[in-house]
Amino acid sequence: MSKIMIELNDVNKWYGDFQVLKNINLYVKEGEKIVIAGPSGSGKSTLIRCINGLEHHQSGIIRVDNTILDHNIKHLEAIRKKVSMVFQHFNLFPHLSVIENLTLGPIWVLKKSKKEAYDIAMHYLERVKIADQANKFPGQLSGGQQQRVAIARSLSMSPSVMLFDEPTSALDPEMVKEVLDVMVELAEKDKITMLCVTHEMGFAQRVADTVIFMDQGAIVEQSSPKEFFHQPKTERGRQFLAQIL
């Protein structure tokens, strides 16, 4: 039986009076690939941002690899080392070259030597097929290239968990595939645990073990992709699929 990598128990979060997450219960096994879908404003980004402590939940328990995410800074640091995130707008450091974007974390957070960090960086840049751009600056790259660099940067931290927040939705259509291809390869070859917010339902059908459908701050369906796409359990799920497929 594989171990539980992420556990959320009755998690609730409010922004002021507005409840953005409602009684979230979620167990993610090591290596599991989860796609999170749902209408805009349903709390998808907030949910994954809570998992690495970018947002704070107000009640319930979040555990990552058995460490509780609470106000203890040591716990937060331990979790941040295991969980890395890829954002919609890449969030690369614009004043650093591609290679420097990748070596910064390994050198300062993981205490690797410069040589070691460089070797790791080149390994992952090759993996996302962009090693030839190592000395350019992010602004000199296309959106698809920048997102592949961001994925390589995440990988260079050797995470156990990768969180993706709509990684292709800011890209021009012709660049979506090059990023999805990298993500498919990652999902199929690595034992990394992945949670991916995306509207790319082809990607979901191909790689997800589990699809989570959120609406108005709650998880309203959790099923295999086959079930979700062919026999959604709820009317809200059906309506959502009718809009995007």
What does the binding site for Mg ion look like in residue numbers (CB under 5 A)? 45
Q: Which of 6, 13, 32, 43 binds ligand ADP (CB under 6 A)?
A: 43
Side-chain-facing half-sphere of 90: CA atoms under 13 Å: 22
Among ligand ADP, Mg ion, none, partner that 40 touches (CB below 5 to 8 angstroms by kind):
ligand ADP
Element (H or E) spanning 60, and its range?
A: strand 59-64
Size of the site for ligand ADP (CB under 6 A): 10
In whole angstroms, give the CA distance from residue 130 to residue 124: 9
- Cα dist. 203→12, 19, 21, 64, 160 in Å? 29, 30, 25, 25, 21
Q: What minimum distance in Å lies between the beta carbon of 46 and ligand ADP? A: 3
Binding-site member from 13, 42, 83, 90 for ligand ADP (CB under 6 A) = 42
Could you tell me if 42 and 217 are in contact, meaning their C-beta atoms sit under 8 angstroms apart? yes
d(CA 130, CA 140): 13
Q: Least distance to Mg ion from the beta carbon of 166, Å?
A: 6
Residue 161 near which of Mg ion, ligand ADP, none (CB within 5-8 Å, type-dependent):
none
Q: Which of 36-44, 67-75, 91-99, 110-118 is the region at the interface with ligand ADP (rule: CB under 6 A)?
A: 36-44
Does 15 help bind ligand ADP (rule: CB under 6 A)?
A: yes
- The conformation of residue 2, written as its DSSP 8-state character, comes to P
Q: Does 40 bind ligand ADP (CB under 6 A)?
A: yes
Contact in structure between 39 and 215 (CB atoms under 8 Å): yes
Q: How far is the CB of 243 from Mg ion (least distance, A)?
A: 16
Where do contacts with ligand ADP occur on this chain (CB under 6 A)? 15, 20, 38, 40-46
